[in-house]
Amino acid sequence: MRVLLSAYACQPGMGSEPGKGWLLAQALMRQGCEVTVLTCGSHHRAAIEAHLDACPSEPRPTFLWHDVPGWPGPGYDQPRHIRQHYMLWQMTARAPVRRLLRQRRFDVIHHLTWTVLRWPSHLGGLGPRFVFGPVGGGESAPVALRAGLSPVARRHEALRDLLNAIGRVDPLVRLCLRRADAILVTDAATRAHVPARHRGRAVVVTDILAPDMPVAEDGIGPPTAAAERGPLRLLFAGRLEAWKGAHLAIMALSVLRRSVRGARLTIAGTGPEAVALRQLTVRLGLPDEAVTFAGLVPHRQMAGLYACHDLFVFPSLHDSGPHVIGEALAAGLPVICLDLGGPGVAVNASCGSVVPTCDADPAQLAARIADAVVDVIRSPAHLAALGRGARDRAALFTADMRARDLIARFYEPAALSAPEVVRPNRTLHV
């Protein structure tokens, strides 16, 4: 089966969307597919080629490098302009793909990254089966929970709601969905944003990837029991944006420490809310040792960070497929999340706790998160069982499992050949 994977973000050794693009491309090749990756050369070419030179045994897709004509530099270096760069990249990608299709046959064109419903692909209707997603973005922060956000963050959420509403009637989005043979969405809220006439082709699938076996750079092994390590240690990892919910994790810790003495929280990440979060710890009267701000932790070091914590707390208000969830599960950490977005689909009682947000304000939700933590750690045996359940759950979210699911459920049926001998990397010029 020949697959053209549209992955604007695609880079080895990364988390989030670039990591997903890379891992899925390799996994599809291990399943016997012949994969060509359409990606942004200015963003990723140097890193991809360096990695492949250093790792000659890895599966090597063919690459079609595409850049926005006339764009002065990499979009990732200009965060304010990255969305404009992405949209122009999508609009200009159709022409080189059409030229490629005149040269070779593909069974499937799969738009993989970026994963936002309101940012359409223009690669449908070119002949091969077109799979769009998984995409999210239809989630919305509950109004009651916005009270805990800054005025700037509340305006951001209001703007996001407006853009989602516009996206529902955007003719380019509708054209993309009309052309799609399969529409993959990350949660029910996003599916509800798909126009009714196309909703029958919209399927909810998790967009969370888990590594096969996280290995700590410093050799730290699996998490040890809390009793052996001292106080309960919670971990939050993600960009420090208001909607990521780190403030709810801090508020929950303040409540938790009333019943779990010495409980601590590590916050890994950077972002515009960093100062506000530090100020929040002061207002809540939390001692310095209660909350550790670890800053930006390189992806290669995250396994070590997971290994020295007991629980992963991720109270994001709207997240489609955060890969930190998959990484935490694979590391054997039970996960506590909200019943919003992709995490609420991926996590269940076998591996953690999904906290209901209905009718809760920020203070009430923080108390519910604290209660969930207390329930998870109610006994060493229960915590250990959830740790085993986390690893079992993560096994369902590996790139290879995802690739098999995509092939079986959404790609054209075809007899897959055995994986081919690794060939030298190829670059297409069209």
Q: What is the pLDDT of residue 73?
A: 61
Structure tokens at 176: 């993309």
With vertex at residue 140, the alpha carbon angle to CA 233 and CA 175, rounded to the nearest 5 degrees, is 130
Number of H helices, E strands in the chain: 15, 14
CB count in 10 Å sphere of residue 194: 22
Q: What are phi and psi of 350, to 5 degrees?
A: -75, -15
Q: How many CA atoms lie within 13 A of 177 on its CB side?
A: 28
Q: What percent of the chain has pLDDT above 70?
A: 89
- Where in the chain is CATH 3.40.50.2000? 2-209+398-424, 226-395
- The string of pLDDT tens digits covering residues 204-218 is 998 888 886 544 444
Asked if residue 28 lies in contact with residue 3, where contact means CB atoms within 8 angstroms, the answer is yes
In sequence order, the 6+-apart residues with CB closer than 8 A to the CB of 258 are none
Q: What is the pLDDT of residue 423?
A: 39
Q: What is the pLDDT of residue 330?
A: 94
Q: What is the pLDDT of residue 13?
A: 82
Q: What is the pLDDT of residue 421?
A: 35
Q: What is the pLDDT of residue 96?
A: 96
* Domain 226-395 CATH assignment equals 3.40.50.2000: yes
Kindly list the distances between the CA atom of residue 276 and the CA atoms of 63, 144, 246, 279, in Å, as whole numbers in the listed order.
43, 20, 10, 5
- The string of pLDDT tens digits covering residues 379-415 is 999 999 999 999 999 999 999 999 999 999 999 654 3
Closest CA to 3 of 70, 82, 100, 86: 100
CA atoms of 328 and 2, how far apart (whole Å):
33
Q: What is the pLDDT of residue 415?
A: 33
Length of the chain: 430
Asked if residue 141 lies in contact with residue 127, where contact means CB atoms within 8 angstroms, the answer is no
- The string of pLDDT tens digits covering residues 84-123 is 888 899 999 999 999 999 999 999 999 998 888 999 999 9
Asked if residue 124 lies in contact with residue 113, where contact means CB atoms within 8 angstroms, the answer is no
Q: What is the pLDDT of residue 215?
A: 43
CA atoms of 215 and 22, how far apart (whole Å):
18
Exposed e or buried b per residue across 371-410, where buried means at least 16 C-beta atoms within 10 angstroms of its C-beta: bbbeebbeeeeebeebbebbbebbeebbbbbbbbebbeeb
Residues (pLDDT < 50) of the chain are: 214-227, 414-427, 429-430
Asked if residue 229 lies in contact with residue 260, where contact means CB atoms within 8 angstroms, the answer is no
Fold of 2-209+398-424: Rossmann fold (3.40.50)
Q: What is the pLDDT of residue 376?
A: 95
CA atoms of 93 and 197, how far apart (whole Å):
27
Residue type, 107: D
3-state secondary structure of 414: coil
Structure tokens at 323: 């890969």
